[in-house]
Structure 1
Amino acid sequence: MAEAETVAVTPDVEVVLEECASAGGVLRDVLAAVDDEFVNAPSALPGWSRGHVLAHIANVGDAAARQVEYAARAELVEFYDGGREGRNAAIEAGAVLPASEHQERLARVFDRLEQTWPPPGSALWDQRVSYREGTVFGVALAWWRETRIHLVDLDAGIGADTWSETFCRHLFEFLAPRLPSGTTVELRPNGHEPWRAPDAPSTPPYVSVHGDIHDIAMWLAGRVPACMPVAFVDGQRRVLPALDPWPSAR
C-alpha cells in the first residue's frame, strides 16, 4: 500500500474566510433569481424542499454568528435554541416562507456573519465555544461546510465540481469518523495525493477508494456523486465500505 498523506489538511483562517465569502456570493446569485415555485420544489435531500434547505442554511448562519458573539464576551451558548428539537422546528417553520422572505433573511444572515467574524490574527479565533466543544475557528469551518454542501443540495445547478481541492480534503478530514473502524481506508482521488486518517490502523486489510475528488467527497458526505467511487482490496474490486453516521456535534 502506498504511503498516503496523513498530515492535517485544515486550511488557515484567511482561506476559510475567502471560501465562505465565495460560497455566500454564489448563494446570493442563486437567490436573486428564485421564486415561490423554486422554493417549494423538492431539493436533492429526501423529504426536504428547497425551502427546507434555505431555512436550514439561514438557521445555521444565525447560530454561527451567535456562537461568535457570545465567545467575544467569553460566554457559552448552545448552538440552536432548544437543541435538536428547536433546530427541526425552526427548519419546518422557515421552509414555508415565500421566496422574498428567504432572500431577505439570508441577506441579513450574510451581513451579520461578515460583521461578526473576527479579523485574521485575532485571538478570538481560539476562543472556546459550545459548538463541538471547539473554537470560533471551528464555527467558521462549520459554516463553510454547510454553505458549500447545501448549495449542492439545493439542486439549483451548483454541483460538487465547484468544490475546491482544499474543501474536499477538509471534508476527508472532518468526515474521517464515518469510515469503518478497524479497517484502513485510503482515499485515492484521481490526479491528487492519496489520503488516509492519521489514526488509521497500520495493519491489513487495506481498502482503497478511487474516483474523482469531488465524487469521493460527495460519497463521504452521504450524497449521490456524479460517478460513484470504486473500492479495491489487494487489487480486487470490492463493495464500497459502509459509512458510519455523520460525526455528532456532541
Structure 2
Amino acid sequence: MSLSEATQRANDGLSALEDATERLLDVVAGLDETTIRGRSALPGWSRGHVIAHLARNADALLNLLTWARTGVEHPMYTSRADRDADIDEGARRSGRLLREDLIAACERFAAAARSLPATAWQAEVVVGDGWPLTGHEIPWLRVREVWIHLADLTCGFDLVDIPDEVLEELIDDAVAHYDGMAGVPSFTVRVDLPNDTQREWIVNGANDSSAGAVRGDAITVLAWLTGRGDARALSGEAPSLPDWI
C-alpha cells in the first residue's frame, strides 16, 4: 500500500472512530452507579469492567502508535496478567472516575493519532497475540473495540445499531482474528451486506482442514464471529469457534 493510500485508510479509520467514541461517551455518561455495577454481556464482567477495559485499550493502542512513530518496540500490554489487573482495579472506581478515565484515554489516543507523521501509518507493529499489523490498521482496531464493547454494556445499544458503513471493516477484522489459530478449520463465510451486495471471506485459509461454507447477513455473521451470537441463523454447517478473548 502506498503512503497516500495508507494515510487515507488511517484517516478514514479516525473519522469512523470519532463517531464511535461520541456514541460511547454519550452512553457511559447516562449510566448511574447502580447500572455501572450491573452485569455486562461478558461473563464475569460488570459494566465497570467493560468501561475500564475500553480506557486501557485506548492506552494500549496508544503504545502501538508510539511504536509506529518511533520504531522502538512498545507492546500493547506488559503482560496479560497486568492487563487484567488494571481492568479489575479500574472497575472498582466510582462512576465519575470511570467516566473521567475513559474520556482522558480516548482523548490521549485521538491526539496522538492526529499528530502521527504519515510515514508511521506504514510502519509494522505487533498486537498482543503476536499478530503483525501495519500502522494504518490501528485506528480500525479501536473502532472495533468501541462498537463491539458498547454493545456489551447492554444499555440500549446492540450490534444491530452499528453503522452499516463500518460492518464490512469489522468483519474483516474478526476474520483476521482467526488467522493461524489452532483448532479453527478453514471455511468460507458469505456475507449479505447492507448495500445489497455480497462478499466472501476465507477464514483461517492456511489450515488444511476444510469445514465448507456458511452464509448470513452482516450482523449475524459479525455476532457469531465475535462470540456474541450463535450460528442458528446462518445457513450451512458452521464450525465451532473458540471463545473470543
User: Structure 1-normalised TM-score?
Assistant: 0.79
How far did residue 220 of structure 1 move? 0.7
CA distance in 1, matches of 2:234, 2:61: 36
Higher relative contact order (CA 8 A, sep 6+): 1
| 1:147 aligns to 2:151 (yes or no) | no
**Aligned position for 2:86:** 90
* Structure having the higher Rg: 1
CA distance in 1, matches of 2:39, 2:203: 39
Contact 2:185–2:209, Cα closer than 8 Å, also in 1 = no
**What CA deviation, in whole Å up to 9, does each residue of 1:30-67 have, x standing for no partner?**
12212211110000111110001001000000111122
| 1:209 aligns to 2:212 (yes or no) | no
**Aligned position for 1:78:** 75
**Aligned position for 1:171:** 170
**Aligned position for 2:240:** 242
**Aligned position for 1:28:** 25
**Structure 1: gaps of 5 or more residues:** 1-10, 233-237
2:234 to 230, 235, 248: 230
Instruction: Name the SS for the 1:195 alignment partner.
Output: strand
2:224 to 216, 219, 226: 219
RMSD: 2.8
**Aligned position for 1:113:** 109
Higher helix fraction (1 or 2): 2
**Aligned position for 1:8:** none
Distance 1:208 1:128, change over 3 A: closer
CA distance in 2, matches of 1:140, 1:54: 19
Higher strand fraction (1 or 2): 2
> Aligned residues, how many?
227
CA distance in 2, matches of 1:95, 1:110: 17
How far did residue 204 of structure 1 move? 7.9
Contact 1:23–1:148, Cα closer than 8 Å, also in 2 = yes
**Aligned position for 1:235:** none
Instruction: Name the SS for the 2:169 alignment partner.
Output: helix
Contact 2:192–2:218, Cα closer than 8 Å, also in 1 = yes
One-letter identity of the residue aligned with 1:229: A
1:181 to 179, 185, 207: 185
Distance 1:206 1:125, change over 3 A: same
User: Structure 2-normalised TM-score?
Assistant: 0.81
Range 185-194 or range 36-45, more displaced: 185-194
CA distance in 2, matches of 1:58, 1:77: 18
Contact 2:52–2:90, Cα closer than 8 Å, also in 1 = yes
